[in-house]
Structure 1
Amino acid sequence: MAIFKQNRCIALLVGVILVCFSAISLLGSEGTAKGKNTVQMNHLNSKGQASALTLSSEASTSLVRTKNTPKPMLYTTAANLFHTQRIRQTLEWISPDILKPKGTAVRTGILRQKAAVVKSTPPMVQQVAKTAVAKGSQTVITQKTAIQQHPPTQLFFSRTKLLSQEQRGQATWSYAVSEEDLLLLQKIVMAEAEGEPYQGKVAVANVVLNRLRSANFPDTIHDVIYQKSQFSPVGNGRLKRVKPNGDSIKAVTAALSGTKAVTDDTYFFLSLKLAQDLTVHHSRQYAKKIGNHTFYK
């Protein structure tokens, strides 16, 4: 200590040496610590990588084990519920039509189309049928028109009535209508029923034909009309003056063809307003009234 006190330079030198030595010591210790820390960090990193690899291998192993090992009750229940719900949703979206084979639906549609085709009548067949019906109707109309324009020239009678042309097989006798008979019948209808309705004209012609059939009257149309005191137009000369109109001609043709406005047992008629002799009215059975004429049996 005395030396240091005596020589301050030496003391300062020693101090500097100590400071340097301390600094060197400190630097050496820091380098060693850094080396140790680096070694430790590398060691830790290697350990971390190894741990990660270990964890990944363990995780994969645990997954494999999880597939093969029974799960806890809570997990399996939830999984089953989820799986059931998905199945229900799938079933709800499945319709019966989807479950049917596609071939069945196609065949069913084809069969229905075939059935519809069979049930429905083809347009061509319908047209042919309509044409046939129209032709049939036209034929009937043509026949009626021909009959109206050309009345039958042969009349067929049974004991009680005038027969139609189709009933000729039941006739007990027949009568040939001449042109003179036809004109005379048209004139008597015109003279007796000019102002009467069409049915009244047909009824007058029916009375003449009923008398022709009956055994109580003459056997020809001429003789029936000209029988004494039977038809007033014959007595007053009107029968010769009249010219038959269209309705009178048509009514006579209809009566000869079988149209009957009165029954086959009607033989008389008169106008109660104009008749002077009412013997028929009081002695005969009333049958029908058409227009101004009253008909009797």
Structure 2
Amino acid sequence: MEIFKQNRCIALLVGVILVCFSAISLFSPGVVTEGQNTQQLDKLAGAGHAAAAALQVQQSSAQERSSRISTPVFYTSATSLGQVWQDKQPKAEWFDPGKLKPKQSAVKPTVQPKATLMKAPPAVQTALKQAAAKGNQTVNKVKTASQQNPPLKLFFSRTKLLNQEQQAEATWSYAVSEEDLLLLQKIVMAEAEGEPYQGKVAVANVVLNRLRSANFPDTIYEVIYQKSQFSPVANGRLKRVKPNEDSIKAVNAALSGVKEVTDDTYFFLSLQLAQDLTVHHSRTYAKTIGNHTFYK
């Protein structure tokens, strides 16, 4: 005892060892101890053997019953039964309104046939050419007739000379007399005798543009005889010339609406012969035809 008192650790160790031995003796069925513990273990063992025997009897009777049943019974695992149940159950899906619409049959895209260029037979081509030639001849005849018989009345807007078909747009009109027509032919002949036909038409256009403009006189006679405007008037050539065929045609074309220069062209001169170049330096260049330069 004195040893235990002095060494408490040894006392604790001995206590632990004793507890372990007692536990082993309780849980081990094969170990037989003296006294009451031995009797209790015997009772538990006997009860266990009796329960085991009863269980064997029940199992044997169950096997006999199952063997008497003629219809074979197939057993499946719980997992397989669950899989079959899930397959039989209807699957829940979200309602789609689009499924209510009738299905449209696939429409095949229409293939448009490619246009093929077919050449007309030679006879048809010849007929078309003849018709086009006749049409051109008709237009030329109309132009020739208008040039041979110029209109006796001119129609003007504020900015341009109108043709006979545009007279509804006119702001004022001018009646052309025989004296005006002859005077216009003579000024074209005197100013552009050696110029090309387009140059002759352009000179007549300038006179008619001045007639329309508010900055110049209101008659053909006054426009041509305006002071210091046309050199043939100053040197007397205007009275001596006799209009040739080109001058007459050019005047008739200008009166009919043919324009070689724009409606805002009011001046022209020959840069080689002109002594006064004020127009050249003060006006806007418009066009050059032959030896004449035209200005706005």
Aligned to 2:184: 185
Amino acid in structure 2 at the alignment position of 1:200: G
CA change 1:269–1:126 in 2 (3 A) is closer
- RMSD of aligned Cα (Å): 2.4
Aligned to 1:106: none
**Could you tell me how far apart the structure 2 residues matched to 1:197 and 1:227 are?**
26
**Could you tell me how far apart the structure 1 residues matched to 2:128 and 2:278 are?**
59
Within-5 A mapping of 1:1-297: 136-297=135-296
How far residue 254 of structure 1 moved from its aligned partner, in angstroms, is 1.0
**Residues 218-251 of structure 1: CA deviation (Å, up to 9, x unaligned):** 0010110001110000011000000011111111
Greater helix share, structure number? 1
Q: Secondary structure at the match of 1:141?
A: helix
How far residue 126 of structure 1 moved from its aligned partner, in angstroms, is 9.6
How far residue 192 of structure 1 moved from its aligned partner, in angstroms, is 0.3
Q: Secondary structure at the match of 1:168?
A: helix
* TM-score, normalising length: structure 1: 0.55
How far residue 135 of structure 1 moved from its aligned partner, in angstroms, is 5.5
CA change 1:126–1:291 in 2 (3 A) is closer
Unmatched tracts of structure 1, length 5 or more: 1-118
How far residue 259 of structure 1 moved from its aligned partner, in angstroms, is 1.0
Aligned to 1:49: none
How far residue 173 of structure 1 moved from its aligned partner, in angstroms, is 0.7
**Residues 125-181 of structure 1: CA deviation (Å, up to 9, x unaligned):** 999988876654443332222111111111111100111111111111111111111
* TM-score, normalising length: structure 2: 0.55
Amino acid in structure 2 at the alignment position of 1:296: Y
Q: Secondary structure at the match of 1:289?
A: strand
Aligned length: 179
**Could you tell me how far apart the structure 1 residues matched to 2:124 and 2:290 are?**
50
Q: Secondary structure at the match of 1:264?
A: coil
**Could you tell me how far apart the structure 2 residues matched to 1:193 and 1:183 are?**
15
Q: Secondary structure at the match of 2:174?
A: strand
Which sits farther off after the overlay, 279-288 or 227-236? 279-288
- Identity percentage of aligned residues: 83
**Residues 34-63 of structure 1: CA deviation (Å, up to 9, x unaligned):** xxxxxxxxxxxxxxxxxxxxxxxxxxxxxx
How far residue 286 of structure 1 moved from its aligned partner, in angstroms, is 1.2
CA change 1:199–1:124 in 2 (3 A) is closer
Unmatched tracts of structure 2, length 5 or more: 1-117
